[in-house]
Amino acid sequence: MDSVSRGEPRLIGQADLEGSITEVKPSLGTWFETARNVALFANEGGTYDDLVAYLRKRRLILRKPVT
């Protein structure tokens, strides 16, 4: 926004990044919740096996689903 108000571009610095931390909210949590459900309950034919492996490695899936 500083570039817009000044009318000229400027480089982003460390202070800009640190300032944005309080303004920007991460959105991956919601995506991972949805992806986890799809991977657990709609993984016919192993389409989402890579995603399941990733989620297990990151402990976002704690146990194997009951089938």
pLDDT computed for residue 25 by the predictor: 83
The SS3 assignment for 34 reads: helix
Structure tokens at 40: 């657990």
pLDDT computed for residue 14 by the predictor: 94
pLDDT computed for residue 65 by the predictor: 54
Structure letter (DSSP) for residue 46: G
Structure tokens at 9: 């571009």
Residue 52 neighbours by CB distance under 10 Å: 20
| CB burial readout 11-38, b (16+ within 10 A) else e | eeeeeeeeeeeeeeeeeeeeebeebbee
Per-residue pLDDT of the chain (67 residues; tens, 9 = 90+): 788 898 999 999 999 889 888 888 888 888 888 999 998 899 999 999 999 999 999 888 876 655 5
